[in-house]
Amino acid sequence: MVLDTFIAGLGYGATNVLVGQPLDTIKTRMQALSGNPATKVSSWKVAKEIIAHEGLAGLYKGGTVILLGGSLFRSAQFGVYEFALSKLRGQFGATEPEHRVFFKMLDPQVVVAGFAGGVGRGVVEAPFEFIKTRIQVDHAWQFRELLSGSGATMFRNSFLFSSFVVYVDISKQLVPGGLGPFLTGAICSNLAWFTIWPIDVVKSQIQSGNFENKSFGQLLWGNIRSGALFRGLAPGLARSFMANGCAMVVYNKILEVLAKAKKPSTD
C-alpha cells in the first residue's frame, strides 16, 4: 500500500502541475512583487502583463522544472504520510473516537503523519521550488543559492500537508461516504492553503531574490503591517481548487488500477 501511494503520488503531482501551472505563475508573481507591498495589484492585470510580454507560454514558466519536481515531491508527501501513519497505527492501533481531540474531530496520528509527509515533501521540493520561483519572477540565480528558502519551504509544507490530511479526515466524518475524489482534493486543499497562506507569501518573497537580507520574521511582520499577508490568494485558490481536484481523481484512479492488478485472476 505504501509503494502504491508513492506511485499514485507521481500521477497526482504531474496532473497538478499540468492543470494549475498558469495560475501558480500569476500567484507567485503577485507574492514576489518588490517595492511597496501595500500596492494594489490584481491577478487579471498580472496575467495580461505576462501574456503581453511573454505570450501564453509565459504562464507556464518553470513548468518543466516543477513537472519533474512536482511529481517527485507529491509522491514523497503521500508515500511518507502513508508510511508514517501505518507505523503509528501498528504501534498504537487506530485512534478511537473518544481519543480524538478538539471537539473529537482531530486524530493525533493523522496530524503527526501529515507533518512527516510535509517534511518529506519539503526535502524534495525545496530546490525545485527555488528554481521555479526564480524563473517565474524573471530573476537570475546561481547554483550556490539553490537551497535558499529551503527552511521556509519545509516549514510551509509541514503545516500545509498536515492541514490537508486533517481536513480530508474531518470531511469523512462530516459527510457520510465522503465528498468524492474531486471535491475532496479541491475543497480540502483550498482549506489547507488558506490556513498557511501567509507562510507561502513569505516563502515566495525569500526565494524570489527581491527581498535580500530580510529574515522570515521581518518579511512576515512587514506583510502584516502592510496588509499584503494574503496577496495572490485568489489565483492561488483558483489554481488549487482545479489542480488538486483533478489530481485527486487521478490519484484515486491509479490506486484502483494498482489494487485490481494485485488481485488474483479468477479465469
Note the pLDDT tens digit of each residue in 101-140. Answer: 988 899 999 999 999 999 999 999 999 889 988 988 888 8
**Mean of the pLDDT values across residues 40-50?**
85
The whole-chain average pLDDT of the chain stands at 90
The four Cα atoms 125, 227, 240, 11 give a dihedral, to 10 degrees, of 0
Question: What CA–CA distance (Å, rounded) separates 85 from 64?
Answer: 32
Question: What CA–CA distance (Å, rounded) separates 106 from 81?
Answer: 16
Distances 197 to 42, 92, 106, 191, 212 between C-alpha atoms, Å: 17, 33, 21, 10, 21
Distances 208 to 30, 96, 100, 136 between C-alpha atoms, Å: 11, 45, 40, 9
Q: What is the pLDDT of residues 10-22, one digit of tens each?
A: 999 999 989 998 9
What's the confidence (pLDDT) of residue 37? 52
Q: What is the pLDDT of residues 173-220, one digit of tens each?
A: 999 888 999 999 999 999 999 999 999 999 999 999 888 889 999 999
Q: Whole-model pTM? A: 0.88
**DSSP SS3 for 146:** coil
| Those residues with Cβ within 8 angstroms of residue 70's Cβ, 6 or more apart along the chain or in another chain | 13, 14, 16, 17, 128
At residue 16's C-alpha, the angle toward residues 12 and 19, to 5°, is 135
